[in-house]
Amino acid sequence: MLSEQTAGTPLIEARGITKHYDGFTLDTVSFTVNEGEIVGFVGQNGAGKSTTIKALLGLFPIDGGEGRVLGTSSTELSRPSGAATKEQVGVVFDAVSLPEHLSVADVSHIYSRVYATWDARRFERLTAEFGLDARKTVKELSRGMGMKLSLACAFAHDARLLILDEATAGLDPMARDEMLDRLRDFVAEPGRAILMSSHITSDLERIADRIVCIEAGRIIFDLPKDAITDEMGVARCRATDFERVAASGIIPEHDLRCLRHDYGIDLLVPDRFAFAENFPEIPCDRMTIDDYLTLTLKGGVR
């Protein structure tokens, strides 16, 4: 039986999801995606992003914990009783999951039988706007065009939730800009949200509200995007600068996360504005998501 989603309930909930494979474990993964949010899901290749998404969608049984999508358990999503929830979820993986012989027009005919809410006119409008020829087959589409087809499918059945796994990776810069605008418009409607896995962190800097990072099957951090890009900084220190900062106590010693290079030391600064007041002579750049990932995953603590 479909669970009723109450006001304020996350649209996605991962509660300690665990899955064991030979050589890899998804280890008690927990995070949420709330109404109105775009959550960026980041991590290195093989970190567990796609596995987490597939676990949430109920594509395989898990060994522990629980996932819920729009109030429905991930286990139920794999059953006929979960069909009503799946109607409200648009999913795009990093590869087109459609038979290669189908034409773009055929895809619409098939999806109209899958989704009660399928809007064929909207699909035709989207594919035309995306430059997709209705006569072309899936096999004939470039990777970027294939991604556009998958995104058109996700947009054309009145979904409340989009789950995107590297969905913009094959798009050229102009197409990505257009797609990011569409994603912003999508989530601006009440009751909607997006979980977006991407290696293109500049896209996430433009539209994400939160960033969740997974590494070796475990969640490493879950932070508001603005806390990273608006508040933090990267100080470009010489060895003597680094020692002065460490001795000052402005950053607690256990938080002195840095990355050493031949030419100096990059230091993670929690508040770049306070740092600039105290050390105006040390260059301190705005933090990017890539910077934060690098310092968190590869940097050391003094």
- The per-residue pLDDT for 273 is 96
Burial class (CB in 10 A: 0-12, 13-18, 19+), 8: exposed
Q: How confident is the model at residue 171 (pLDDT cuts 50, 70, 90)?
A: confident
216 Cβ neighbours under 8 A, 6+ residues apart: 27, 47, 48
- The per-residue pLDDT for 7 is 53
Q: How does strand 218-224 pair with strand 193-197?
A: unpaired
Instruction: Name the pTM for this structure.
Output: 0.91
Q: Say whether pLDDT at 229 is over 60.
A: yes
Structure tokens at 27: 């280890």
Q: Say whether pLDDT at 228 is over 70.
A: yes
Asked whether 179 and 152 are in contact (CB, 8 A), the reply is no
91 Cβ neighbours under 8 A, 6+ residues apart: 57, 154, 162, 163, 164, 165
What is the pLDDT averaged over residues 91-106?
88
Q: What is the pLDDT of residues 261-295, one digit of tens each?
A: 988 999 999 999 999 999 999 999 999 999 999 99
- Reduce the DSSP state of residue 237 to 3 states and report it: strand
Q: List beta partners, residue 285.
A: 234
State what percent of residues in the chain have pLDDT above 90.
81
Most confident region among 5-14, 172-181, 276-285 by mean pLDDT: 276-285
Q: Say whether pLDDT at 93 is over 90.
A: no
135 alpha carbon, distance to own chain's centre: 32
Q: Say whether pLDDT at 169 is over 90.
A: no
- The per-residue pLDDT for 8 is 72
Q: What is the pLDDT of residues 122-139, one digit of tens each?
A: 999 999 999 999 999 999
